[in-house]
Amino acid sequence: MENIIEVKNLNFGFGKKLILKNLNLNVPKGSIYGFLGANGAGKSTTMRLIMGLFNDNSGAVKVFNKNISEIYPQALQNIGSLIDYPAFYDHLSGYDNLKIVCTIKKINVKMIDEILETVGLSHAKNIKMRKYSLGMKQRLAIGLALIGNPDLLVLDEPVNGLDPIGMLEVRELLVKLNKEKKITVFISSHLLLEIEKMVTHLGILSQGEMKFEGSKAQLHKLYEYKKIKFHLNEANKFHELLKEKYNVNILSETEITVVPHSQNEIADINTLLVKEGAQIFQISPMGGLEEWFREVTNKN
């Protein structure tokens, strides 16, 4: 699969302090790639390197299969970015804010109406920015990044600070841009549950080191048997039964978690519990990106 962004063996820092350590990153063309990590993990530094805002003298960073030193500023016509929150003119309308950027970039203003339609702001095109909600402003910021019909969007924490409705609107917009306009989206965030709903691929960064990279399906397969929740009667009693052989924890009077080693072992545990008189109401995996993230970043 062709990669639209490639980072190989990148070490980067300021002075003697390394922020990024032997970083490898591959963003497939056509993907929604979630770049995940806690605040301070090195996500924003990586994105600034990708956008040419920090100098990469090692040649470790490539975009569109070319070193970033070779493609900027020309490549900015093909990349939309939201690294820092843009400075809007609150006394102007959403339309006029986009018009200013079109004028600076020497791009035909005819595309503004299409962009406003895409980001769901046609109804507010003539409303002054001071009356926009935070979610509307964030969608307009993505609209700014869409000027010029880019093939790649680089977005740093685009849902940070939004309420659930605003997050939903931005998420639906990014999925729409990816599916309908075939735009590759590279998005950083520390909001794991929100990102999980939209990404196809992801990289998990911890203290400047990549702990996992691959498709969401690959991560799911890697951790699908890590922890299973059993909903049953008398959790304390059956915790005692299982604890000598398995890693078992009690969540409540009717819930225990077990760490099996295979899918067959889940069936063995179920058989044992039933044989000993357990009434099992439900068996469910303890998965999801939040659980996986904790597992990955806790590795030494």
Residue with tokens 């899918």: 263
- pLDDT in the model for residue 85: 74
CATH architecture of the domain 3-215 equals: 3-Layer(aba) Sandwich (3.40)
The total number of residues written for the chain in this structure: 300
Quote the distance between the C-alpha of residue 277 and its chain's center: 44
The angle at the Cα of 200, spanning 195 to 202, to the nearest 5 degrees, equals 65
What are the sequence ranges of the domains in the chain? Answer: 3-215, 224-297
Beta bridge partners of 10: 23
- pLDDT in the model for residue 177: 92
Cα separation, 116 vs 175, in Å, equals 16
Residue with tokens 């920090």: 54
* Shared fold status for 3-215 and 224-297: no
Whole-model pTM?
A: 0.79
- pLDDT in the model for residue 220: 74
For residue 21, give the H/E element and its range: strand 17-28
Nearest by Cα to 101 from 127, 82, 118, 120:
82
Report whether 188 contacts 43 (CB < 8 A): yes
Cα separation, 159 vs 193, in Å, equals 12
CA dihedral 58, 61, 65, 71 (to 10 degrees): -80
DSSP at 88: -
- pLDDT in the model for residue 287: 64
Nearest by Cα to 105 from 153, 145, 54, 156:
145
Tokens of 17: 């302090």
- 237 CB-near residues (< 8 Å, 6+ apart): none
Strand pairing category for 61-63 and 255-259: unpaired
CA dihedral 192, 194, 197, 201 (to 10 degrees): -40
Cα separation, 7 vs 47, in Å, equals 11
Mean pLDDT by 10 residues, the chain (300 residues): 92 89 96 91 92 87 89 82 84 95 89 93 95 90 91 90 85 92 92 85 92 86 75 89 87 88 85 91 77 68
CATH architecture of the domain 224-297 equals: 2-Layer Sandwich (3.30)
Cα separation, 57 vs 21, in Å, equals 15
Residue 142 CA: distances (Å) to CA of 35, 100, 102, 114: 18, 15, 14, 13
Q: Where are the alpha helices (DSSP H) in 149-213?
A: 164-180, 192-196
